[in-house]
Each structure stands twice: as structure tokens, then as C-alpha cells.
Amino acid sequence: MPKKASRGAKPPKARTAGQSSSPADQKSLHGETAKTADLAGDTVGPGQILSSNQGLKISDDQNSLRAGVRGPTLLDDFHLREKITHFDHERIPERVVHARGAAAHGVFQVYEDLSDLTMAGLLTDPSRRTPVFVRFSTVAGSRGSSDCARDVRGFAVKFYTDEGVWDLVGNNMPVFFIQDAIKFPDLIHAVKPEPNNEIPQAASAHDTFWDFVSLTPESTHMLMWVMSDRALPRSFAMMEGFGVHTFRLVNAAGKARFVKFHWKPLKGVQSLVWDEAQKISGKDPDFNRRDLFEAIERGDYPEWEFGLQIVEEQDEFAFGFDLLDATKLIPEELVPVRRVGRLTLNRNPDNFFAETEQVAFHTGHVVPGIDFTNDPLLQGRLFSYLDTQLRRVGPNFAELPINRPLNPVHNNQRDAMGRVTINSGRVSYFPNRLGDGCPMHAPGAADAFVSYAERVDGEKIRARSDSFADHFSQATQFWNSMSDWEQAHIAEAFAFELNQVESEDVRHHVMNEILVNVADALAQAVSEQTGIAVAPVGTAANPTPSAPTPSGPLKPKAKRLSSPALSQDKPGDTIKGRKIAILGGDGVDARQLKAVTDALTAEAALVELIAPRAGTIADSAGQSQKVNRAAVNAPSVVYDAVVVPGGASAAELATSGLAIHFINEAYRHGKPIACIGEGRALLDASAVGKVGAADGVVVGETAAAIEGLMAALLQHRFPRRAIAGVPA
């Protein structure tokens, strides 16, 4: 456990962000003699001063106005509100971010009474089955983009509790790119398609994104996550979810504790590899949403356990990082995740638009027993989400069936577009006598929401706490926690992205101000694949091994940090839902086909027979076998493993270019391959037979091959294979 803070621990000091200079001799943006606004627009150029939409020069665009350096964001931050309001309304009617999504209905049930931690009914009554609606999404792409882009995945859960709606709006990564919501429009503008040509779609591999992050060192930890395989989930049911922010749990006695929320998938955490993800984007851009829909339809309900990391208030400053910093996580080795309940998705939407598109999440939707902290990213989201829904869905979005709470709503709202409720009576105000004072306040009611009574004291200031200044330690910790193949994938991802960047200046700064401060091995590996030189320490380009501005000093001890819980290099517990391709044709060995199919379906895996043509084939016993997909419609990338039975079909497959490509590609992507009896002929005809089969390639007779296949499937992939000589 972390070392406890001493009594009377002083809050962290303020740190101001770096600011652009403003020379007195700078000219007006419209020329020295301009009298009216230039309606033709302007071009970004040297010497320009950032201003509001009303022309007011802005002194600090990187820190929201708050009460003290760790205090709450203030409503009178007009620049924050103007900037985010404009950003929230930039897309009609599509969501600005998280536009491409898929969703499902389900139920949540807590395992035990947690009333010692919170008064939230869904977490204190194990007999309650709380309905939920969960939406998964990518962030950067449009509605028409691919499921398999390298991106963060949204993981938003709407709980329809007896006390009202709670929206836990999170991601599949526990940290974020920025520390303050005022920077969110800049982040998304940078990662979205570039405004001059609307290119590229749903991709971060371009100049503007890397220009932004090279100047925003607080993004470094998140970059490590996004460049890892976590950005390429195999399915929504095989990815974790996180609340990202530090929240509060408050019990009936008013006792509060800090909490981080987690979702742990029962199928384990599994990912795609980059080459595979790119090919899936072309072969089946609906890969993840199709997987979710079909799994629920067949009764293979996705499930997660709900986890809590609890930190007592007296331990707020006991870590080497700030709990209010959304670019940091709490290592599970320091504070274990307590699994307290289960989420099950068991029903698909009846209408995609009415439910999945019109669902409106808001971080400010909480219930008694759950409250906020002064995390400056969370504070900004409390404004942004509501503002977005008002513009996207309308002021009466809460009346739509998918957003409506279970408990009755009584207030004095009557008008605005999209009104559904028809209220009778003449009273729509408070206080009133004509309506007997109703709807009335509920002071002292046990189930009424009362904000946690946190003392707030500080000057109105635009500054960042010094405790937010360490931007590299946890990025290094993430790198150190990865296995060899995970590190290789991260380096390859950075290289792929930076090879798309045209600006040599941006490439240089990413390497010599970001990557070199994470790990020497990472910088060297990326340098070898991109040709970007690592400037030797002591040169003009890199005079000292220091952090870029604005950032705090580097912490040498970070080189020893590690958290094994962050690695995906772990075997699974189940093969439920895995999709296995069986390659066959006329004359396929009937006994082998049945034995493999029976063994896999007994473990709730999916089996598809792929043959040269659609329809049916005749097996070795003369029985008709239904073909699930013709070979031309069955790319290897949508399957988790491949089996080649013996029989007369094996020799024909060994001469099929499609079948050979299928084996080569599956091998390159680390997938289990099983060849039974004569099925070995296809392996020998492929490049795999020439390079020598590695782990996860099983060859033998029926029983042994099935046993080996089952063991290989629990490993998910075999990423250490030598694939240089295997074309695909």
C-alpha cells in the first residue's frame, strides 16, 4: 500500500503553463488600418495572438479557471465555455466524437452489500437487477468508418436505477491524453481529418496529431496505450472498461472515499494485430459490432465484472502522482481491484437509431452515493456532455425512451423542441401556492442527491498543480510492464504512425522530446524503423536528458517501475465465442470433421465450414455438409484459428491459392493452426511448411490434434513466430 500522507500535508504548488510571447510590434490580424472584420477568413501564420470569438486576447488557453490549483472548475470561465460550446456543436447530427458505435441492453447485479462504501442502491442491494444500456464506440472516426481503426474505444454504461439514471461514461483505457478539459477541442481537432482536405479518416497517423502531442507531453502515457494492442480489441466482450476519472463514493453517514471504476471482461482481454486490423477494415468494417450483435442473438452474452479501487481520503497525497490527474492510473499492485458485481448484455436494440443513436450519456448523471472530484478533465466534461446532448438530440433528450429514467420525473420543464410529456395544469414554477407547492424540494430525504460537502478555498487562477507535472514515469512503467512481443508491437505502431508524418520537425520532436524520455529501447527501435535520428545527449539538438516544456523534471526511479497487471501476455480461461474456420471440400474426412466440430462447440466456440463453393459438400461418408462460407467470402482475418481435416479434399486444398493464402495469413497473425492426417498437405504447400512450424501449429491424428488445438486457443495468439519468410 502507498505511504500515507502526514497530517497537515500541504497541497501541491501551482505551475503555470508555457505561453506564447506577444511582441508589442505585432500587427493586427486584419492589417494596421483595418476598420471592419475580414469575413473572408484568415490563414494561420506567424505572430498571431489567440483570441476569443469576440476578439478578446486570451492569456492562457491550456488551463481552465479554478478555485485553487486543485480546486473545482468555475462557471465564470467564459473562455472554457465558449471554446467547448463551439466544439460541441461542430457536427450535425453526428456525434462530434464517438460517432461510430454499437450498443446492447443488459442487467447489472452487485454481489454484496456495499453500504459501508456508498448509499447507491444498485451497489447496496444484491437482490436488485438494475437494467443497463451499454454503448461501445470508436472516438475519432465518422459513423461510416471502420470498427478496427487504431483508436480508443468508448465504454459507456447507462444504469436505470430506482433513484434515477447513472451514466458511467468511460473508455477501454484507464488514462487520457490531456489533464484539463479546455484542451479537448484541440486534441480532437488535431486527431480528426485535417481541415484543408478532410484526410485521413479515423486515423492518427498524420502530421497534425503528432504535432499536437509533441507539444503536449502530458499525452505520453496515453500514447503508449494507443500504440499498444489495447487500441485494437478482438471484440467488445474482450476489452476492459475504465471510468478513467477518480470519483467519490459516499455512504449514508457522509463518509467519502476516492474510487476508480473498472470493468473486467470474463472472456479475458484479447486484441487483434495491426496488419490483421487493417485487413479486417476492408473485409468486414463492421467486425466488432457484428460480433456483439451475433453473440447476443445466439445467447453468448458478453459479461464483465465491476471492479473498484478504493482510496481513503487520508491517502489522497500518498502516491507519487495526483489522483485527480486523468493521465495517471493507480497500479493494481498498489490498490487491488475489488470485484463487486456483474454486468451482462442480453438483448440487442430493436431499432438502431432510436436507441443506439439517440442514447445520450452525460458524466453529470449520478445517483446518491456517487459524486465527483475536482479532476479538471472531469469538471469540464460535466459541462460538455450536457451541452452536446442539448444540441445533438435536443433539450428534451431525457424524455426519449432510451434515456428515460425508471422512476417518475416531476419538474417545471414544459417547452422546447422534442417535448414528449404532456403536462396538465397551470403551474410550471416554484415556489407556488396554486399547485400546493409541488413539485417540492426534498431536504433531508434519504434518497435525495446531496453534493459531498468538500471544503473549497483558493484564488481564482489559471494554473496547473505541480502534482500534475510528471508526464513520463507512468509511460515508462507501461513500457516496462510489457512482454517482448508487446514492446515490439508498440515500437512498430509508433514507427507506422511516424512514417506517415511528413514534417521532419514534428518527427524529430516526437523522438527527442517524447520517446527518449520513455525508454531508450523504444526510441532506438522506432529510430531503426523510421530513420529518425536519436540526437545524442550533449548535442545542440539534445543538450540534456530533460523533459520538454511544460513538464516537471524527469524521475530516474521511473526506469524501475513495473505493473504486471498491464500486460496482455496471459493465457485465457475460456474459448467461448472464438470463431474457428474448418477448411474442407468434397471428400473431407467425416469422422475428423465431426470430432473437431463437436469438441469446439462443446466449449461454446463457433465453427464455420469453408469450402471452394457455397451450398453443400459431400463428406467421405457421402453425407451432405452445409458450407457456411465460400472461400472467396471467408478471409482468415475474421477467424481466431483454422483447422484442416484430412480426406480426399486435402490434396485439392494444397493446390488452392485461397487456401494457401489463408494458412500463410493465419500464421503471420499468430493464430492457432491444426492439421489432421492428410490435412498436413496444405501446411506443406504453404510457406509455413517451408519455414518450419512454430508454437501453435498442431499436426497429428484426430485426438492429439484436437487436444493441441484446445490448448493453443487458450493462448489466443503466438506472437513470437518468425514470419519474415511467410508472404500474406
Cis peptide before 376 (omega within 30 of 0): no
Task: Please state, in angstroms and rounded to a whole number, the distance separating the CA atoms of residues 661 and 727.
Answer: 8
CA gap 704, 707 in Å, rounded: 5
Cell numbers of 296, please?
447476443
How far CA 644 is from CA of 609, 654, 679, 694, in Å, comes to 10, 10, 5, 17
Place of cell 498442431: 698
Stretch (H or E) spanning 710? helix 702-715
Q: Is residue 314 helix, strand or coil?
A: helix
Q: Which residue has the cell 442487467?
A: 107
CA angle 356, 361, 365 (to 5 degrees): 145
- Give the up-direction half-sphere exposure of residue 55: CA atoms within 13 A in the CB hemisphere: 6
Rounded CA-CA distance 153/136 in Å is 7
For 139, the 3-state DSSP assignment is coil
Active site residue 98: yes
Listed in order, strand segments (DSSP E) in 376-518 are 460-461, 464-465
Beta bridge partners of 303: 344
Cα–Cα distance, 674 to 645 (Å, whole number):
8
Write the single-letter amino acid at 216: T
Q: How many CB atoms lie within 10 A of CB 411?
A: 9
Nearest of 662, 670, 672, 682 to residue 706 by alpha carbon: 672
User: Which of 63, 79, 105, 171 is flagged as catalytic?
Assistant: 171
Contact present, 512 and 539 (Cβ < 8 Å)? no
Query: For residues 585 and 611, is the Cβ–Cβ distance under 8 A?
Result: yes
Contact 687, 664 (CB under 8 A): yes
> Which DSSP string do the residues of 501-558 spell out, in sequence order?
---HHHHHHIIIIIGGGT-HHHHHHHHHHH----PPTTBTTBSSS-PPSS-----GGG
**339 and 305 Cβ atoms separated by less than 8 Å:** yes
Compute how many other C-beta atoms are within 10 angstroms of the C-beta atom of residue 212: 21
CA 455, CA 179: separation in Å to the nearest integer? 22
- Cis, peptide link before residue 93, omega less than 30° from 0: yes
Report CA torsion sign: 76, 77, 79, 85: negative
Burial class (CB in 10 A: 0-12, 13-18, 19+), 654: buried
- Amino acid occupying residue 68: G
Q: Which three cell numbers stand for residue 212?
A: 499536437
Report the C-alpha gap between 92 and 390 in whole angstroms: 12
Give exposure, 618-630, as e/b (b: 16+ Cβ within 10 Å). Answer: bbbeeeebebbbe
Cell of 375: 479532476
Strand spans (E) along 125-192: 130-138, 153-161, 164-171
Which residues have a Cβ under 8 Å from the Cβ of 26 and sit 6 or more positions away? 47, 49
Element (H, E) at 346: strand 338-347
- CA-to-CA separations, 424 to 103, 414, 419, 421, in angstroms, rounded: 35, 10, 14, 10
Residues 108 and 122: their CA atoms lie apart, in Å, by: 8
The residues that are catalytic are: 98, 171
